[in-house]
Structure 1
Amino acid sequence: MDQADIPALLSRLASDEDAARKMAVFKLQSSINDPAFADVFIASGGLIILRRLIMSTGGNTLAYSLQSLTRLLEVDMGWDIFEGPGAGDLVERVVELIVTNPLVNILRGAMSILVALVGHSQSGSAAARPGGTSGTVRTPGAFGFRALKPAVAVYPQFFEHVIAQLQSADHALCANALMLINALIRDAVSNDGKSGGGSGAQGGEEWSKFIKRLQDLGLIKAVYNLMQSSSLQDLAHPLLEFQSLTKVLLRKWREVRVDLERPEHRRALKGLHLASAPDRRHVTNGVGAAATEESNTNGSDKKGSRKHNPEKWRRLGFETESPAVEFDVAGFLGMMDLTDYVRKNEDGFQKLLLEQSSRPLSERCPVARASLAVTMILYDHFEVDKSDLEDVRGYQTLDPSKPSDRLFHPLLLQWSRLHTAGLHAFFRMWKATGAERDDFDKVAELVRILVDQVVGQASRTKDVLEVEDDLQEYDSGRLRELQMDLLELSFEDQWGPHLYQVREELKHEALQFVKEQRIRCLLQGSWFTKPQPRSSGSQHNRQDSYQRRGRLYQPWRYAKLSHNRRYLHYADFPEQTAQEPGLDALTEKVDLSTISSVVSNVSAPSEEEEAEANNNTKDPIETSTMSTYPVPGREAGRGSNTKPTTKITIYSFTEDINPPLVGSGSGGEPKEEPILTLFPLNHSLASEWLDGLLMLLNQAPITAETNKLVTLVSEYGLKIRLLNVGSLEQQQHAGLGHLGAGGAGTGVVPSREGLDEDYFYEI
């Protein structure tokens, strides 16, 4: 619309005919966001007419008027409409529309105006604003939440109606309602201690009470549902702003120091003490019990007897009898979390204290200290100290049509429930690990990993109830494995090449260890089966085929490595003997120096063997070194009727005694021939003998079982070294050890006085 048409437009806006006004204000909303047009409109007295339309009209005319004022404020013009004698009436009119009007298009415009009004609290003077009148004195309380207070006093259900719109099916209205809430929270927090000329403490109480009022009206649940809904695309920006504001509030609560001079802090601590059932008889250490008994005996008044309880706060899990000091790290946020947990779980809290009081002091789980630790674990996990604008900027760099789920953390809004679930997980870990007071930091680290694994890996749409269950049921053994993996990664990042060198050294040591173990299996000796020869048609031929070198077929073969590891002795037997044969009974032998190769058809375990292995609860090292042999004295038919699944064939070079043909290639070359065949009874025995023979010949093992064993041993060695380094660092921090000039750790060396050599390692 041309600026020359503004007088005619103003005339139609001031008309008594509703149709003319409606058409004029409809055109106005599409032109007023042009600053040049808006400047002439304001200079011509348009704000007075626009204000009159908002105050007196309804329906679409009112909706277009509200939209026109919204667009005017978007270009940072027209703020004078909220200053002067009638400004309060205009704000009250907009608040009234939100409370009483059901039309969506009117509600959207009304909330947009209040968003701009509240968010304008940090602006400069009127003279510096476009459209402002030079020299105008700004009316106190004209902007920000202060501007709404008189109107909200008239319509106290205002906040309830705004929060109710978060469930609206109209996404634009829902977004406007959330933006209004964000503006109100940001204004309340940013003006902490400035409102009403009160002190910082009073200001802190005001914003805290305001936030609690919104939470009591269901704000958190409503925004949590929005953040998990499918309408994320239309609400992404206000949701991210609310998420950032949640971090701001958590930071502010943490920054508030616990001060017993403040009544609400004193009441919170007193509530903790009373909820712990202090009058109930509980077990204390000898000194505490004696002191309590003495005070009850000598003290004439009740006040004196209560005053001398030596464990008033320590039995709740504090380290000292001055609990306020222990909130220095977590601040008032830590006190809020602890009191909230106790209030919602009072019976469980009392039972837990009674249970802990029956244990020795060193084994008791410090409940209060654990609560503060979980608070800081959540605080660090959600990166609360991160700039509140970084999430919004991260969203702005992405495609707005495809908002990234990784930017949204709906579980942050379930802080209280996560704290309770994390605290219960702490208690569970403490009990499962048999921890003592000195192990507190180790249990806290396990809980930190648990939170990172469960909460950090949770999808945006995962319900908080599932997360609570996962925190409570996560396997502690699996968690320890994860901790070791993370420890290894952290050391690898820090020590890279050194850790690679250590890993290679340990792998070589593990290979030598497993080589010795495999060779010892050969030195111990083993029984093998022999398949029956193929039988011909007649009984006479079958008997002839059973004869081999003048001897009858014998179904068992026993093989054993000589003590000097130079010869492999073996012999065939008609049945397994009660006592394993000695080397003198093994009539055949193979010189290892003549072996050219060892070949095997080692296959995967059979279904029965695999099922047996899965049911075996022993460690892999133990099951590998203890193969399953047939029990002596059982019928020989068991071994002879079972079809072998594996075969190990030993080859040796032999000279060809036949002269070569004329014109043929070179003759007399050695060729390989099988000299011994072994049929192991099971897959583990096949792995031991095949790789044992290969290692005797200085060749690498080839079976998966042996290679897995090598990896297992080397990984155990690496983890033990990493744990030793971690223990050394803890000693250094505690002043128990130090690094010498050569880089080696110097700690307390345990004494072996009174110990003998009768010991073993259990892995």
Structure 2
Amino acid sequence: MSEAAPTSPPTTTAVPVSKPGLVPTNNVSTIDGVTVRARIDPTLTVVDVVRQLCVNLKIKGPPSDYALRDESEELVTNDNLRKKIRTKANLKLVNAPAREGRDIAEKLTVRDAATLRLTLFSLQRFIREPEFAQEFIGRGGVAELVDVIYETHGNTLAYALTAMQNLMELDYGWASLDEHFILKVVKILSSPQSLINVCRPATVILKKLVEADPVHAPGPQASSSTAAPVIPPDSVYRYGFAVVFEQMRKEKGLLETVISRLGSAETVMCQHSMMLINSLLTHANDLRWEEFITEVERLNVRRAVIRLMSSHTMMEDLQSCILDFQANMLRVTHRKKTMMVDSQNDPKHAAILDQIWATSRLEKESLENGDILKWRKLGFETEDIDAEFADVGILGLECLRSFVQRDPDFSKVAFEQLSRPAERRCPIAKVSNEVVEILSDHWAIFAPGYSTSTTFQPFFLDFNKVHGLATTFFIRMWGESGAARDDFTRVAALIRSQVKVALRSENVRSWHEVERDFLECEYRAVRDRQMKELELEDDLLSKVPVRNLRATIYKESYEFVRQQRIRCLLQGAWFVNALPQSSQGSRDPVRRPDRPWRFMRLDNGLKFLYYIDSNIKFPVRNGLEDLPDRIEVAAISEIATGTGIPPPGVLRDYTDVPPVTPQAPSPLSFSLISVHEGSLADQIAPDASRWADWTDGLNMLRRDGGHVASKETAGFVQALTEIGLKIKLLDLSGEMVEIPSGLAAGPPPTNTDFFFSDL
């Protein structure tokens, strides 16, 4: 039951009820400026509450034309009504979302600047509400909004783009966007003169279009790999990388401008640009993949990201995006490594080989038997150049070209090796390929789509440069050790050992330390250290078949851990509601949240996180009945860690949480970040295992590619890989082994002339 008493001043007295102490009182204001104090029965639906308010206040018109909002304009629904009543929120009786949608769609046709700006400001707030959106879309509002985007500029354009961005959070209503609109957004982004508040929503819109790929459409067609999915006419999953990139090609400066914004002092703009690049890398299709990656490498996006890694002002906000980029570049590197060189049919491959040969300044020879001596002079074993790169692919070809270009004395090195006896020559090209294999093993580039790095890897992003240093070191060790042709494997093991040392702890080491380890380390020191390592290692593990087996088991282990993490999310867990770290700079005293505990659980469809806030922890039943509130998983763009301050006194119940100062963020805290809404939730896990389960589980659910955030998960994957590998090598499966059901005793001895040996 809802009771209300209207008065002119907002401090009116509530209408008496039978048990007034049990029902909180809410202030409710109307469109006419009247404020009442109402005791609202929390068991009623919002429709019933609005109907009774309209009757008591004698509001004209049908009650269906009205709705309730709080002071922040959040719509009151059946899901949050009890919370609004409990917290005594100030409410407003306003036009219903459907009525607002109809009115705003009509107002968009008026191009008066002041009216349009105000209309768009309201639109960007209301468009996420389903009832509003359905009415707005049904009234042709999307077409009017597109026209506004074409015709306006400045802040008005920013409001319009933000409204479109918020509309695209829905999985319907924007299927009418065509290539002309995409090109318009591309042009807005590629213009260096565009305002930051215009570029932010434009970047998110382009990212959303890239991810609206038919293969990601919900339903059974999304998993079909044998044929192109059939998309309904009104589905928004009709765009994807191919459609967006086709328009991007018309504006040559787009990628360059987006990458340049990675250095922007405006952190949100930098973050949006990083997310767009990650989405493009994740969803690039086979047809345009090589063209896109070539352009990205030409613009040296790796260097821009490395600079972000060293930027202390942005690192925390962008950490998740940077780790996503690392995972994407690992996939790119693996794909290059598995793409075969085809010098006969691919002009680009032939051009790179010609460039390498020209830089060497060597001359090919014709032997007496009619054979041509060319590539063997550079250290290849045969003249079949495509087969020589069979194990390292395009990656090996590009690394060799980079090495040749970086060393101004390369031709001298090549001539020097040719001047030696054939047995003593260092096979430079073979060395280059071997270093690619060594670095690939070091950075685990053998499982596409699976990355367990939890820290920044700036040296990995500079793969070619590290390859050049390691190749030069290989050649120097070859000479200092007096190696011959049969010693190649021995020297390669030496280099493998040095790579582990030089690239250790790369998230905290500087580049000059890596250079020093490769350029100044003497052969004897490396050899002595390697001999000690060999005492503890099994040489079998470095064999190619074993490395391939490890790659297979690694992928299986990763998928197993991924499923385990998601099962933990489905089971649910209790967390502490943390204070956002941003409150440290606030002058307001740190206060405990209204309800310090939160239980969260992922639904079986993997689309929503359902939760409830409580003063105490209580047994939560299976299912979602006890969890009234929810967060959409698709709205989570980043899982930030170490972001929450523990409320005073709450963590005393947590025995596993390390002690922290009152104003310091908890190491077990994490935040669910939305692109435009900021933090959707700030939680503190009860222990490191629960923290790893949820941060990594949520990362692994993300559509735009995720990464492992905890060392615990990475350790599990590595441990399962090592255990699985050893079991395979020991052949403990029992297959092909005959186990007897019993033992035959045999005949007894014929005499007693025997004794039992002590040995």
Give the shorter-chain TM-score range: 0.5 to 0.7
Aligned partner of 1:259 in structure 2 is 342
Aligned partner of 1:325 in structure 2 is 387
Alignment of 1:110-121 (within 5 A): 110-121=202-213
Aligned partner of 2:311 in structure 1 is 229
Provide the C-alpha distance between the structure 1 equivalents of 2:150 and 2:219, rounded to a whole number of angstroms.
27
Residue 197 (structure 2) pairs with residue 105 (structure 1)? yes
Provide the C-alpha distance between the structure 1 equivalents of 2:256 and 2:356, rounded to a whole number of angstroms.
32
Greater mean deviation of Cα atoms: 406-415 or 362-371: 406-415
Change in CA separation of 1:159 and 1:436 when aligned onto 2, cut-off 3 Å? same
Aligned partner of 2:272 in structure 1 is 176
Letter in 1 for 2:152: T
CA deviation profile, 1:542-580 (whole Å, cap 9, x unmatched)? xxxxxxxxxxxxxxxxxxxxxxxxxxxxxxxxxxxxxxx
Q: CA deviation at 1:472?
A: 1.3
Q: CA deviation at 1:137?
A: 7.3
Provide the C-alpha distance between the structure 1 equivalents of 2:220 and 2:341, rounded to a whole number of angstroms.
42
Aligned partner of 1:24 in structure 2 is 119
Alignment of 1:37-56 (within 5 A): 37-56=132-151
Which among 519, 522, 543 is matched to residue 472 of structure 1? 519
CA contact (8 A) 2:456 2:506 kept: no
Letter in 1 for 2:311: S
Alignment of 1:3-14 (within 5 A): 3=97, 4-14=99-109
Which among 471, 474, 485 is matched to residue 426 of structure 1? 474
Greater mean deviation of Cα atoms: 179-188 or 349-358: 179-188
Provide the C-alpha distance between the structure 2 equivalents of 1:128 and 1:68, rounded to a whole number of angstroms.
31
CA contact (8 A) 2:121 2:159 kept: yes
Change in CA separation of 1:124 and 1:376 when aligned onto 2, cut-off 3 Å? closer
Give % identity.
31
Q: CA deviation at 1:134?
A: 9.7
Residue 529 (structure 2) pairs with residue 482 (structure 1)? yes
CA contact (8 A) 1:31 1:37 kept: yes
Aligned partner of 1:216 in structure 2 is 298
Q: CA deviation at 1:385?
A: 2.1
Q: CA deviation at 1:217?
A: 2.4
Which among 395, 404, 408 is matched to residue 342 of structure 1? 404
Provide the C-alpha distance between the structure 1 equivalents of 2:385 and 2:264, rounded to a whole number of angstroms.
46
Residue 179 (structure 2) pairs with residue 88 (structure 1)? yes
Provide the C-alpha distance between the structure 2 equivalents of 1:358 and 1:492, rounded to a whole number of angstroms.
34
Alignment of 1:180-579 (within 5 A): 180-188=276-284, 191-192=285-286, 203=287, 206-230=288-312, 231-262=314-345, 263-279=347-363, 308-309=371-372, 311-345=373-407, 347-391=408-452, 406-460=454-508, 462-490=509-537
CA contact (8 A) 1:141 1:147 kept: no
CA contact (8 A) 1:272 1:342 kept: yes
Residue 252 (structure 2) pairs with residue 156 (structure 1)? yes
Alignment of 1:53-92 (within 5 A): 53-82=148-177, 87-92=178-183
Provide the C-alpha distance between the structure 1 equivalents of 2:269 and 2:467, rounded to a whole number of angstroms.
33
Q: CA deviation at 1:441?
A: 0.9
CA deviation profile, 1:185-210 (whole Å, cap 9, x unmatched)? 3333xx20xxxxxxxxxx3xx43232
Q: CA deviation at 1:327?
A: 1.4
CA deviation profile, 1:164-205 (whole Å, cap 9, x unmatched)? 1111111111111122222223333xx20xxxxxxxxxx3xx
Change in CA separation of 1:390 and 1:359 when aligned onto 2, cut-off 3 Å? closer
Alignment of 1:592-607 (within 5 A): none
Provide the C-alpha distance between the structure 1 equivalents of 2:397 and 2:134, rounded to a whole number of angstroms.
53
Change in CA separation of 1:315 and 1:325 when aligned onto 2, cut-off 3 Å? same
Greater mean deviation of Cα atoms: 470-479 or 324-333: 470-479
Letter in 2 for 1:482: R
Looking at CA atoms only, which structure, 1 or 2, has the larger radius of gyration?
Answer: 1
Partner SS for 1:474: coil
Letter in 1 for 2:264: S
Aligned partner of 1:599 in structure 2 is none
Alignment of 1:751-762 (within 5 A): none
Q: CA deviation at 1:417?
A: 0.6
Provide the C-alpha distance between the structure 2 equivalents of 1:463 and 1:75, rounded to a whole number of angstroms.
45
Provide the C-alpha distance between the structure 2 equivalents of 1:451 and 1:122, rounded to a whole number of angstroms.
43
Aligned partner of 1:144 in structure 2 is 241
Provide the C-alpha distance between the structure 2 equivalents of 1:432 and 1:352, rounded to a whole number of angstroms.
15
Provide the C-alpha distance between the structure 2 equivalents of 1:143 and 1:439, rounded to a whole number of angstroms.
51
Q: CA deviation at 1:150?
A: 3.7
Alignment of 1:658-673 (within 5 A): none
Provide the C-alpha distance between the structure 1 equivalents of 2:309 and 2:472, rounded to a whole number of angstroms.
26
Higher helix share: 1
Q: CA deviation at 1:492?
A: 13
Question: TM-score by structure 2 length?
Answer: 0.53
Aligned partner of 2:128 in structure 1 is 33
Partner SS for 2:480: helix
CA contact (8 A) 2:214 2:231 kept: no
Letter in 2 for 1:74: E
Partner SS for 2:507: coil
The aligned length equals: 435
Q: CA deviation at 1:419?
A: 0.7
Provide the C-alpha distance between the structure 2 equivalents of 1:158 and 1:25, rounded to a whole number of angstroms.
27
CA deviation profile, 1:432-477 (whole Å, cap 9, x unmatched)? 22211111111111111111111123334x4434422322112433
Partner SS for 1:79: coil
Alignment of 1:691-706 (within 5 A): none
Q: CA deviation at 1:386?
A: 3.6
CA deviation profile, 1:589-627 (whole Å, cap 9, x unmatched)? xxxxxxxxxxxxxxxxxxxxxxxxxxxxxxxxxxxxxxx
CA contact (8 A) 1:145 1:184 kept: no
Change in CA separation of 1:314 and 1:390 when aligned onto 2, cut-off 3 Å? closer
Letter in 1 for 2:295: R
CA contact (8 A) 2:334 2:448 kept: no
Letter in 1 for 2:157: L
CA contact (8 A) 2:186 2:247 kept: no
Question: TM-score by structure 1 length?
Answer: 0.53
Provide the C-alpha distance between the structure 1 equivalents of 2:131 and 2:371, rounded to a whole number of angstroms.
78
CA deviation profile, 1:656-708 (whole Å, cap 9, x unmatched)? xxxxxxxxxxxxxxxxxxxxxxxxxxxxxxxxxxxxxxxxxxxxxxxxxxxxx
Q: CA deviation at 1:126?
A: 10
CA deviation profile, 1:626-657 (whole Å, cap 9, x unmatched)? xxxxxxxxxxxxxxxxxxxxxxxxxxxxxxxx
CA contact (8 A) 2:108 2:119 kept: yes
Partner SS for 1:74: coil
CA contact (8 A) 1:414 1:464 kept: no
Provide the C-alpha distance between the structure 2 equivalents of 1:78 and 1:472, rounded to a whole number of angstroms.
60
Structure 2: 5+ residue stretches without partners: 1-74, 76-95, 222-229, 542-759
CA contact (8 A) 2:443 2:460 kept: yes
Structure 1: 5+ residue stretches without partners: 193-202, 281-287, 296-306, 395-405, 495-763
